[in-house]
Homo-oligomer: A and B are copies of this chain.
Amino acid sequence: MKTVTLIGAGRVATHLGKGLKSAGLNIAEVISKNGASARELATLLDANPIENWEDLSPTSDLYLVAVNDDAVAEVANSFPFNDCFIAHTSGSVPMNALEQASTRFGIFYPLQTFSKEKEVDLNKVPFCIEGNTEENAQALFQLAQRVSGNVNYINSEERKRLHLAAVFACNFSNHLYAIAEELLQEQGLTLDLLRPLLIETAAKAQQHAPKDVQTGPAVRDDKAVLASHLKQLEAKSDYQKLYNLLTKSIQDKHNEA
């Protein structure tokens, strides 16, 4: 595989585009409904920016769809080449969403959170690969191996579960960080006091089953602390509800062990 076209110009397209280019791939074109984004990413990748499907060239080895989950179907409908190789990068869209796009399709899903501002080392990112044929799966697997040391065949059913687990472990955790920051700021404190703890908590889970290293008042059933925390949250009934539910969930999980 030598030439890749990016469909989409957002965060995932940017990180994958840069990674593939660094690995020696030629990024031929970047197509996005948002012309400015297409131009910006195309400039970065030395590619051709495209705004309309009729201007897309059919000569790429792979068309990589990196758009919002709910825009994949629209891309599949609009894709103009019914025998070009197309793959999407989404954790939650089934592979057969690409059936109507082409006869050759698959999944090239990097299991990581990407932001515009922060560089990510793709080599450590787990890639989840699926193809509509074994040959197509292998081609995507080999492409992923050029940018990552952690490539896995994962079918659509497994991928759905992975995405759900990632929402719990990543999206929801980040929201808990945001709640912590709000609670600190109210008292004139900053998140900097907690930032080392965030890293350490995630680092600990690298080597342990999280369940085995659970700490805090919930797992100790420390009723005085639990009551004092709920009192602090008196004016914030939504956070109080969350605190109660998470505490109960920790205790249930601990008791089932």
Contacts and interface: CB of A to CB of B under 8 A. Distances in A.
A36 interface: no
Interface stretch (A56-64, A132-140, A243-251): A243-251
A170 interface: yes
A197 B166 contact: yes
Given A70-B224, A167-B217, A228-B92, A162 B184 contact: yes
A113 interface: yes
A124 interface: yes
Contact of A197 (B169, B217, B222, B242): B169
A172 B192 CA distance: 18
A143 interface: no
21 contacts: A69-B217, A70-B225, A92-B217, A92-B222, A113-B204, A120-B200, A126-B196, A152-B193, A154-B193, A160-B232, A165-B179, A165-B189, A166-B180, A170-B197, A170-B215, A173-B176, A173-B177, A174-B213, A175-B210, A181-B209, A242-B246
Interface of A: 68-70, 92, 111-113, 115, 117-118, 120, 124-126, 128, 150, 152, 154, 157-158, 160-184, 186-189, 191-211, 213-220, 222, 224-225, 228-229, 232-233, 238-239, 241-243, 245-246, 248-250, 252-253
Contact of A199 (B111, B177, B206, B228): B206
A171 B216 CA distance: 6
Contact of A164 (B92, B183, B188): B183
A229 B91 CA distance: 12
A171 B177 CA distance: 11
Nearest to A205: B177
B178 A253 contact: yes
A33 to B, nearest CB: 17
A69 B224 contact: yes
A220 B70 CA distance: 10
A57 B188 CA distance: 41
A201 B195 CA distance: 12
Contact of A162 (B120, B163, B164, B194): B194
A113 B152 contact: no
A225 B194 contact: no
Given A117-B208, A178-B253, A193-B126, A171 B215 contact: yes
